[in-house]
Amino acid sequence: MKQYRITVLGGDMRSVKLSDLLAKDGHNVHTFALDNTGNIAQRCSELGESFIISDIIVGPIPFSINNGVYLNAPFHHEKIEISKIAEAAYLSQKNNTKLLIGGNIPSQLKSQMPEWEDLLTRDDLAVLNSVPTAEGALQIAMEELPYTIRGTKALVCGMGRVGSTLARLLRNVGAEVTVAARKSRDFAICEAEGINFCTYNELPKVLENIRLIYNTVPYKIFGSDLLDAVMPDSLIIDLASMPGGIDFDYAAAHHIRAIHALSLPGKVAPVGAALIIQKVVYNILNEKNI
Amino acid sequence: MKQYRITVLGGDMRSVKLSDLLAKDGHNVHTFALDNTGNIAQRCSELGESFIISDIIVGPIPFSINNGVYLNAPFHHEKIEISKIAEAAYLSQKNNTKLLIGGNIPSQLKSQMPEWEDLLTRDDLAVLNSVPTAEGALQIAMEELPYTIRGTKALVCGMGRVGSTLARLLRNVGAEVTVAARKSRDFAICEAEGINFCTYNELPKVLENIRLIYNTVPYKIFGSDLLDAVMPDSLIIDLASMPGGIDFDYAAAHHIRAIHALSLPGKVAPVGAALIIQKVVYNILNEKNI
Amino acid sequence: MKQYRITVLGGDMRSVKLSDLLAKDGHNVHTFALDNTGNIAQRCSELGESFIISDIIVGPIPFSINNGVYLNAPFHHEKIEISKIAEAAYLSQKNNTKLLIGGNIPSQLKSQMPEWEDLLTRDDLAVLNSVPTAEGALQIAMEELPYTIRGTKALVCGMGRVGSTLARLLRNVGAEVTVAARKSRDFAICEAEGINFCTYNELPKVLENIRLIYNTVPYKIFGSDLLDAVMPDSLIIDLASMPGGIDFDYAAAHHIRAIHALSLPGKVAPVGAALIIQKVVYNILNEKNI
Amino acid sequence: MKQYRITVLGGDMRSVKLSDLLAKDGHNVHTFALDNTGNIAQRCSELGESFIISDIIVGPIPFSINNGVYLNAPFHHEKIEISKIAEAAYLSQKNNTKLLIGGNIPSQLKSQMPEWEDLLTRDDLAVLNSVPTAEGALQIAMEELPYTIRGTKALVCGMGRVGSTLARLLRNVGAEVTVAARKSRDFAICEAEGINFCTYNELPKVLENIRLIYNTVPYKIFGSDLLDAVMPDSLIIDLASMPGGIDFDYAAAHHIRAIHALSLPGKVAPVGAALIIQKVVYNILNEKNI
């Protein structure tokens, strides 16, 4: 395997584990803004160095917080402005820094880099990440429900990456799964794989038998009307990114258990999530022939 | 369910069964060019009537033979020119004929119809048809191989609709499946579903252990070089449309068993295939709000 | 459904839920020694009444604690001697009490009852209980491991009820499972279902690749020798009843993570476990034609 | 691997393939009564030699035909009486012939051999053979039915080795399977694996929705009463040994398609079936420490 000079910049526990995995593969790995995390790679003493010393910079997912103002670096002792990073990127250009990788990279930063790749637009990451997300979603149901998943009637709203992986996992564990979807293609996939399906219009009727409800669609699917159709003792787990697809206030007021489960890969499987990012980084290097 | 006036025009046994299924659902169904097939719907005595009498015309898959010159109507006693059908479509326009459905409809005919929908461009048909195709492909292997599918090392080239459905079916039956693919996305899907995968470059090495080979890719993947790497006693089943992905002459000359299996849905499951077309026709009517 | 007079006697949360389920099915249900548990059935004010008032007594699993001296009744405010229960059973004999059901019923008590059925010798209970046990075992691994179960190399020692259900569940979730077993029959079952297997002699070699180890065999399989072969970072989950199959002291001294997970059905799925007992009670009544 | 002197005696194509497999493993293999089958092992010129020359004799499954009078040897040019074989066994005793293996060995022969093992009483053979039997049963349905197995409502009568393997295979392929059984244990297994089940009393009602019926129970389950409840267009496949579980005359008279499928392993997967016998022979040698 070809060896690269890589800096892992900021990020959560996945970035820590990623830097370890890349170092174990023999790459020349540095980190910045991963203080006191016990990772094995060398640390850069300052931001500028982290860009100069490497050909590939792997930033966090998502790259920034506070509306793109600061780097997403929960382990760092102080906040790092994205503008400071853009400056470091600009200054490193005469050197041979080639590629910036990260999730939802701020445009200010993209404009200073010769090449960049946004992880959150990549299909391979979405597919691979759907596995820890689905397992985390299953784990929550196992922890919360007083009966087995086998035999439980479950609903999955949405047949995207997460929805389809979750529906298959629940079916494999023995739940009786129904998928709510919209497109003829999605109904066809359900039918071809032997998964029950319904339209969103049919949900009020379908919910009469459902004990475990997952939402993966980033729209307010479960407003007051649909929440009124949810059986008592049911559990709703919302996997859609903020603000999610549930009216949580209405659910709370009506004693319907609803959990907003975000960023499951990093929480339930930090090493597994880092392995996934590593694979996608290698895919990118391979595709770009770097 | 809303009732429609439908003519089933030409086609093979799937069209015969389709006309029965539609009639059983209560639609006003006519057929033309399905002579002596024992179907229950009324027959039109001549071509023009078949267009005037109905609002929806369902033609065959594929619509035409001989490079678009004649209708695909194996049960009819004589050949019907597409130009004659275009004429009938034109003459029926003052009436309320609304929609022509078929597989790869000739452009000459499209131009005479107010609305048409090509079945072979629809994702739902491709997904649903992948099931009888995969089952037919499994059935051939069961018939040809002197050992069980469970435990057999199998290769599937291509991770499109047919490839992915077939890989899952073989895995579910207990074969040890490897998928050859090209895209990071496809490798990710394999990994997320626990299916082994390789690149096409790795095939010569992978083939050393494979007893059952499926191709779904419409390119000459298995030329002389790769065929030389195929184990004796292996079986190759090519599912790609003509001319397929195998050098069949080279295979025959070197005593490598290779079967070109085309149009499996209609052959192994004519009623099942008709049910699928019926579903897709209903999907189309639903999407178009007819 | 035929209605019965049933007393649920002592037991843990499963007994509480069981009394609710039986009451919901319309039986005349009483409880004794389930204080302050919020169950809906009527309570007997004293032990003798609980035997006189019902035809079927369902005791706990296991029936007694402290070597058969006391009833297993964690919700009761005081200890109840088995000899007191035997006395109550004897005194109720002139009435029509017919059947005592429980797990490992003390022989002293059996001798006072006209009919009894031991739940822990029944195959249906063992099979059904293997599901919540396996799900609980999976849940622990999900909570403890920092990577996904999919792709994890796992070992299951023993191919009894729990071992086989667990091996299938892990395989269905995408783990790469190996079963260690002893009998030709068990190897044949593994092969017929596509699960890898090995003998216990092969374990030192097999363990080199294993990250997740389950034991279901009630013998000290994992002594110091085998524990020395366990990879660092591996997790051992012991499902065998006390004292289990692991040298926990040696494991602790050598920083090998080992968890003794007992009585999982009642812990992870109390309602599910109660549903299972209900089913088995109905099976018993059906078999005995009561 | 230890090398043995083995004679394969009579039998069908499985015995031919078995002799090849054993020879390829390096054993000293002879055959008798496998004329003109192209197998690679050396042939004994006469019966007596076949017993003297080897330590292990592997006879056919079943061992005899015509009520135990003749050896089951379809490839031999003349009939061989079992009494002749018993004589040869007796005469070879002073030599070191140790073990006779076969299916349902005639008692006359057993009494002349120091050790013998009946294949048809072995659990490992029953389990392993259930796989080619189930695959053969699936293949017949694929060939006979005009729709896909996925989505087909199927019934399996009996939850023994063949019934349970077949039910799992059909479920894995996407059929909607119901198992008819009798024992609480079997219902529990179905429930634990997510397979629908019913009692035999419920069959008349269940059959209203079934298109594909398998019987594995060697009793006349499907007499005229139950056959009257079978839907037109249904297919019955009987896997039970002669005389089977169907009133075939009544079925034929009432135009119900019923197929008696016997000895599927040898028919659909002769090499696979030989591999299974080889495995079981090795299991026997291993258990007996020969």
Per-residue pLDDT at C77: 92
Q: Residue D92: its pLDDT value, please?
A: 84
Facing residue for D150 by CB, picked from A150, A174, A194: A194
List chain B residues with CB under 8 Å of A191: 127-128, 279
pLDDT tens-digit map of D220-251: 999 999 999 999 999 999 999 989 999 999 99
Compute the average pLDDT of residues B117-126. 96
Lowest mean pLDDT among B7-21, D41-55, D132-146: D41-55
CA angle C133, C136, C138 (to 5 degrees): 110
Whether residues D122 and C189 touch (CB distance < 8 A) is answered with no
Considering only the beta carbons, identify the residue of B146, B169, B269 that sits closest to D147. B269
Q: Residues A137, A237: contact at Cβ < 8 Å?
A: yes
Q: Give the one of D150, D174, D194 whose C-beta lies nearest to A174's C-beta.
A: D194
Neighbouring residues of B249: CB distance < 8 A, sequence distance ≥ 6:
none
Instruction: Find out whether A33 and A75 touch, Cβ atoms under 8 Å.
Output: yes
Q: How far is the C-alpha of A101 from the C-alpha of A6, rounded, in Å?
A: 11
Decide if pLDDT at C97 tops 70: no
- Min CA distance, C194 vs chain B (Å)? 6
Could you please report the per-residue DSSP string of B229-290? TSPTT-EEEE-SSTT-SB-HHHHHHTT-EEEE---HHHHH-HHHHHHHHHHHHHHHHHHTT-
Give me the CATH code for the C5-121 domain, please: 3.40.50.720
Q: What distance in Å separates the CA atoms of residue A168 and residue A159, rounded to the nearest whole number?
A: 11
| Cβ contact C131–A139 (<8 Å) | no
The crossing angle, in degrees rounded to 10, of helices D161-173 and D123-144 is 40
User: What local confidence, expressed as pLDDT, does residue A6 receive?
Assistant: 96
Contacts of C191 in chain D (CB under 8 A): 127-128, 279
Better-scored residue on pLDDT, A97 or B206? B206
CB C236 within 8 A of CB C259: yes
Looking at residue B265, its pLDDT comes to 93
Task: Judge: C127–D280 Cβ closer than 8 Å, yes or no.
Answer: no
pLDDT at C95: 66
Q: Is C253 helix (H, G, I), strand (E, B) or coil?
A: helix
Residue with the larger pLDDT of the pair B40 and C131:
C131
The Cα A112–Cα C234 span in angstroms is: 44
| Mean of the per-residue pLDDT values of chain D | 94
- In chain D, the largest separation of any two C-alpha atoms, in whole Å, equals 64
Answer for the pair C210, C234: CB distance below 8 angstroms, yes or no.
yes
Average pLDDT, chain A: 94
pLDDT tens for A129-179 read 999 999 999 999 999 999 999 999 999 999 999 999 999 999 999 999 999
- By Cβ distance, the residue of B150, B151, B194 closest to C150 is B194
Among residues of chain B, what percentage have pLDDT more than 70?
Answer: 99
Q: What is the ipTM of this complex?
A: 0.94
Predicted confidence at residue B97, as pLDDT, reads 66
The answer to whether the CB of B102 falls within 8 A of the CB of B64 is no
Q: 3-state DSSP call for residue C58?
A: strand
3-state secondary structure (DSSP) of residue C193: helix
Q: Is D243 within 8 Å of D172 (Cβ atoms)? A: no
CA distance A252 to A230: 13
CA distance C49 to C46: 6
pLDDT tens digits, residue range B124-150? 999 999 999 999 999 999 999 999 999
Q: How far is Cα B69 from Cα B67, in angstroms, rounded to an integer?
A: 6
Taking CB atoms and an 8 Å cutoff, what residues of chain D touch B147? 269, 271-272, 275
For residue A137, the surrounding DSSP H or E stretch is helix A123-144
Sign of CA dihedral C230, C234, C239, C244: positive
Give the span between the Cα atoms of A74 and B148, in whole angstroms.
Answer: 55
Residues in C closer than 8 angstroms to D168, CB to CB, are 193
Contacts of B287 in chain A (CB under 8 A): 184
Domain C5-121 and domain C125-266, same fold? Reply is yes
Give the pLDDT score at B66. 86
Contact partners, residue D277, CB within 8 Å, separation at least 6: D14, D18, D58, D61, D119, D125
**Pick from C71, C114, C64, C110: nearest CA to C92:** C114
Q: Crossing angle of helices C184-193/D270-287, nearest 10°?
A: 150
pLDDT of residue B114: 86
SS3 label, residue B156: strand
Q: Environment class of residue B127 by beta-carbon count within 10 Å: exposed (0-12), middle (13-18) or buried (19+)?
A: buried
Percent pLDDT > 70 in chain D is 99
- Give me the residue label for tokens 């004999």: C93
Pair of tokens at residue D168: 């799992």
Interatomic CA distance for residues B57 and B52, integer angstroms: 10
Cα C59 from Cα C73, distance rounded (Å): 9
Average pLDDT over residues C218-226: 95
Quote the strand ranges of A172-229, DSSP E.
176-180, 196-198, 212-215
Please tell me whether residue D257 adopts helix, strand or coil conformation. strand
Task: Give the Cα-Cα-Cα angle A46, A47, A50 (nearest 5 degrees).
Answer: 95
Tens of pLDDT, residue by residue over C225-262, are 999 999 999 999 999 998 999 999 999 999 999 999 99
The pLDDT-based confidence of A229 (bands split at 50, 70, 90) is: very high
C-alpha separations of B161 from A130, A190, B140 in Å: 20, 13, 19
Overall average pLDDT of the A66-74 stretch: 92
Q: Is the pLDDT of residue D200 over 80?
A: yes
Q: Chains with ≥3 Cβ pairs under 8 A against A?
A: B, C, D
- Residue C31 CA from chain centroid, whole number: 22
Degrees, nearest 5: CA angle A176-A180-A186: 105
What integer pLDDT is reported at residue C112 of this predicted model? 87
Mean pLDDT in residue range D66-90: 93
What CA–CA distance (Å, rounded) separates C277 from B3?
51
Closest A-chain CA to B131:
A192
Identify the pLDDT of residue B257. 97
State the average pLDDT over residues C167-193: 97
Interface test with D, best of C101, C117, C123, C124 (most D CBs within 10 A): C124
Closest CA to A279 of B199, B184, C153, B200: B184
CB count within 10 Å of CB C214 equals 30
Is the peptide bond between B62 and the residue preceding it cis, with omega within 30 degrees of 0?
yes
Q: Which of C256, C265, C219, C209 minimizes the C-alpha distance to C237?
A: C256
Packing angle, helices A123-144 and B184-193, rounded to 10: 20
Asked if residue C94 has pLDDT above 80, the reply is no
**Per-residue pLDDT, D148:** 97
pLDDT at A114: 86
| Residues of A whose CB is below 8 A from D150 | 192, 194
Half-sphere exposure of A244 (CA within 13 A, CB side): 18
Asked whether the predicted pLDDT for residue B95 surpasses 70, the reply is: no
Q: Residue C92: pLDDT above 90?
A: no
Residue A222 φ then ψ, to 5°: -95, 80
Q: Which residue of D has its CA nearest to C182?
A: D287
In this predicted structure, the answer to whether residue D38 has a pLDDT above a threshold of 90 is no
Contacts of D16 (CB under 8 A, 6+ apart): D34, D37, D38, D39, D75, D270, D274
- Work out the pLDDT band at C126, boundaries 50, 70, 90: very high
**Nearest residue of chain B to residue C193 (CA atoms):** B174
What integer pLDDT is reported at residue D97 of this predicted model?
66
Average pLDDT on C194-205 reads: 97
pLDDT higher than threshold 80 for residue C111: yes
CB C44 within 8 A of CB C67: no
pTM: 0.95
- The CA radius of gyration of chain A, in Å to the nearest whole number, is 21
Contacts of C250-254 spanning 24+ positions with Cβ under 8 A: C250/C223, C250/C224, C251/C222, C251/C227, C254/C227, C254/C228
Counting residues of chain C whose pLDDT is more than 90, the rounded percentage is 88
DSSP alpha helix (H) spans, chain D: 13-24, 47-52, 82-91, 107-110, 123-144, 161-173, 184-193, 203-206, 224-228, 248-253, 264-268, 270-287
Q: Are A31 and A41 in contact (CB under 8 A)?
A: yes
Closest chain B residue to the Cα of D169, Cα to Cα: B173
Chains that touch D (3 or more CB pairs under 8 A): A, B, C
pLDDT level of residue B91 (50, 70, 90 thresholds): confident
Fold of B125-265: Rossmann fold (3.40.50)
Q: B94 vs C261, which has greater pLDDT?
A: C261
Amino acid sitting at position C190: C
Averaged pLDDT for residues D263-272:
93
pLDDT in tens, D18-33: 999 999 999 999 999 9
Domain ranges of chain D: 5-121, 125-266
pLDDT level of residue D66 (50, 70, 90 thresholds): confident
The two three-digit tokens of residue C207, written as one number: 């363990």
Higher pLDDT, B36 or A213: A213
Q: Which residue is listed with tokens 């198992």?
A: D179
pLDDT of residue A178: 98
Which positions in chain A have a beta carbon within 8 angstroms of at least one beta carbon in chain D?
150-151, 174, 191-194
Question: Does residue D95 carry a pLDDT above 70?
Answer: no
Task: Tell me what pLDDT residue B12 has.
Answer: 93
For residues B22 and D164, what is the distance between their CA atoms, to the nearest angstrom? 38
**Burial grade of D257 (CB within 10 A; 0-12, 13-18, 19 or more):** middle
SS3 (DSSP) at B216: coil
Q: Provide residues of B within 8 Å CB-CB of chain D.
A: 17, 131-132, 135-136, 138-139, 142-143, 145-151, 169, 172-174, 268-272, 275
> Residue C286 is which amino acid?
N
Is 3.40.50.720 the CATH number for D125-266?
Answer: yes
